[in-house]
Structure 1
Amino acid sequence: MDEEAITIRLTRDQAFVLSDWLYQVMFQSDDLEGIVHDRAVWSPIYAISGTLDKTLSEIVMPDYGPRLEAAKERLRADLYGRAEEPTASGQDTTGAPDRGGTAGNHCESDHRQ
């Protein structure tokens, strides 16, 4: 079995938005099983999520919501050439949950509750 590590490069905005989405799916909605049916995929998801949590200082900042919205707007502008309306999911992230606590691997989810 080849265990060579793979490096993925993301901008800070990409990492921040992905981290928030993973957190929402894994811990807020408790819907990871509904989205990812093959549990073998959970291993890399947890690895990516944990790495993002250890790397991003934004997830423990008091202005988490406004920072997240600004990052999303920049990413939308990069993708579409202009700012767009918030996503159709209807989720209001301006009051995004405080993801404070010790940043770490999502396997240690008790600090998120």
Structure 2
Amino acid sequence: MVGFTSELTVDEALVLPHWLEKLHMTDFSRVVDYPAVWAPIHRIAGRLDKAPSELFAPDYDRRLEAARQRLRPEG
């Protein structure tokens, strides 16, 4: 088995699982056209959901929006 480790900032760890959840709720097959890719996406999403305590904070929506703003490229 090949191992893969990646570190995310707290902002990235807030934004990415939210986006993955939205992706999952849409027509997943339209975006991810190879079903073999679904397994690693679900695995990553499952790990992210358990990561930052901010995901369960009462002001999660505000934190998520602030993280999105900080991660937007300037330009």
Using structure 2 for the length normalisation, give the TM-score. 0.88
Aligned to 1:21: 19
Equivalent in 37, 40, 49 of residue 41 of structure 1: 37
Aligned partner of 1:4: which letter? V
Q: Which has the higher helix share?
A: 2
Q: Distance in 2 between matches of 1:16 and 1:47?
A: 16
Percent identity for Structure 1 against Structure 2: 47
Q: Based on CA coordinates, which of the two structures has the bigger radius of gyration?
A: 1
Any stretches of 5+ residues in structure 1 without a counterpart? 82-113
4+ residue runs over 3 A deviation: none
Aligned to 1:68: 64
CA RMSD of aligned residues (A): 1.3
CA contact 2:11–2:68 (8 Å) conserved in 1 = yes
Any stretches of 5+ residues in structure 2 without a counterpart? none
Aligned partner of 1:68: which letter? L
Taking CA–CA contacts closer than 8 Å with sequence separation of 6 or more, which of the two structures ends up with the larger relative contact order?
A: 2
